[in-house]
């Protein structure tokens, strides 16, 4: 049995045992429905070959060649990824437009005896919904910014606030980036822009929009990921909770927050080189010397004093700032402090909601 599915509400998607994306690996890597697994009926090379035949030779030949690839690939999936699925397995299948690829997979799986759903309009149905909510909508979002200079442990504070039942949107976690030239992860690449937006959309639609959403203050880009328009507008006008801490405390904290950098001298030197447009040769040479000597605390302090703190102040002066909701001066940046202040933040948000 094949069932046409016309909406992508969370409740609808949750009815299925698996969401199967039958598009090529390259299409899947760019974006996909949350939780989807990739069981392509045409791989990247096969898809390109069939497309070329379709354009340069004939539609009939393209369908014949494509059908042979699809049959072999679905057979392989039945023998591997789907081999242990029970009789009552109930998957949702989608391709680019809800056309031949998804229906081909669904037809074969239905013959096995599985009840299959096919998403009408395919991936494009999903993408239209994401675009409508994040790019086209002007509806306000109840955002509260968690602000503060570099090294004030905003990400740790976000997670502590979540443990106090605060709704949080951790954009750096979604972007796989810590928001600075030192912020990327060598072994954890950033998502493509469309998949970044998919994850933001999925989190937002899981929130109660009558309650505040705590978001770390960011520039409009986190690494290569751009914050979508609707969220960015909300962030620019949002009330702020500000964290402060002494420079020495922040420098010590950064050593624990960036272990990949302090453990990889070449990564630190490469990040320093990316600051060439902003600082003199003498300053850059001083920072390189600190990195070469593994004086990470001295490097962190120098970078904050001469680069990040001034940049933060410039950003505050030229940007739109919402009302100051609360400010917390942190003399320690440890788990006990995070939990204590997170309780105060939760209380401040509750008061703001009233």
- pLDDT score recorded for residue 163: 97
- pLDDT score recorded for residue 338: 97
Cβ–Cβ < 8 Å for 74, 108 = yes
SS3 99: coil
- pLDDT score recorded for residue 321: 66
- pLDDT score recorded for residue 314: 82
Which of 95, 116, 225, 321 is labelled catalytic?
A: 95
Residues in the chain with pLDDT values less than 50: none
The gap between the terminal CA atoms of the chain, to the nearest Å, is 51
- pLDDT score recorded for residue 319: 60
- pLDDT score recorded for residue 311: 85
Which residues lie closer than 8 Å to 244 by C-beta, 6 or more apart? 148, 149, 152, 327, 328, 329, 330
What's the farthest any 2 CA atoms get from each other in the chain? 72
Q: In 3D, which of 278, 261, 248, 294 has the Cα closest to residue 182?
A: 261
- pLDDT score recorded for residue 117: 98
* Residue in the structure block whose two tokens are 């602000």: 147
pTM for the model stands at 0.93
CA distance 61 to 336: 67
Tokens of 68: 């042979």
Instruction: Give tens-digit pLDDT for 159-218.
Output: 999 999 999 999 999 999 988 777 777 778 999 999 999 999 999 999 999 999 999 999
- pLDDT score recorded for residue 320: 58
- pLDDT score recorded for residue 267: 85
- pLDDT score recorded for residue 105: 97
- pLDDT score recorded for residue 184: 77
For the chain, domains (ranges, CATH) are: 2-131 (3.40.250.10), 139-353 (3.40.50)
- pLDDT score recorded for residue 179: 80
Active site residue 95: yes
């Amino acid at each position: 049995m094949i069932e046409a599915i016309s909406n992508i509400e969370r409740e609808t998607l949750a009815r299925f045992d698996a969401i199967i994306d039958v598009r090529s690996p390259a299409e899947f890597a760019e974006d996909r429905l949350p939780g989807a697994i990739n069981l392509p009926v045409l791989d990247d090379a096969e898809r390109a070959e069939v497309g070329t035949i379709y354009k340069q030779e004939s539609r009939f030949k393209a369908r014949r060649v494509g059908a042979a690839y699809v049959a072999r690939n679905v057979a392989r999936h039945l023998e591997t990824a789907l081999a242990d699925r029970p009789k009552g397995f109930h998957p949702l299948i989608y391709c680019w437009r809800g056309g031949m690829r998804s229906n081909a997979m669904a037809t074969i799986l239905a013959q096995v005896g599985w009840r299959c759903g096919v998403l009408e309009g395919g991936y494009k149905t999903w993408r239209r919904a994401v675009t409508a909510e994040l790019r086209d909508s002007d509806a306000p979002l109840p955002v509260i910014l968690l602000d503060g200079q570099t090294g004030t442990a905003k990400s740790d504070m976000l997670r502590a606030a979540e443990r106090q039942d605060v709704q949080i949107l951790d954009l750096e976690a979604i972007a796989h980036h810590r928001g600075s030239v030192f912020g990327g992860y060598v072994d954890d690449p950033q998502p493509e822009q469309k998949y970044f937006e998919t994850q933001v959309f999925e989190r937002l639609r899981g929130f109660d929009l009558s309650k505040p959403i705590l978001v770390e203050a960011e520039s409009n880009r986190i690494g290569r990921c751009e914050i979508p328009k609707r969220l960015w507008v909300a962030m620019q006008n949002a009330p702020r909770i500000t964290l402060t801490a002494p420079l020495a405390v922040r420098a010590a904290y950064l050593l624990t927050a960036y272990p990949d950098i302090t453990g990889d001298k070449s990564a630190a030197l490469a990040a320093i080189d990316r600051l060439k447009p902003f600082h003199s040769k003498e300053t850059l040479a001083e920072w390189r010397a600190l990195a070469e000597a593994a004086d990470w605390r001295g490097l962190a302090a120098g970078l904050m004093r001469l680069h990040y703190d001034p940049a933060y102040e410039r950003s505050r002066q030229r940007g739109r700032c919402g009302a100051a909701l609360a400010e917390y001066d942190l003399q320690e940046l440890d788990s006990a402090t995070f939990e204590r202040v997170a309780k105060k933040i939760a209380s401040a948000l509750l008061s703001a909601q009233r």
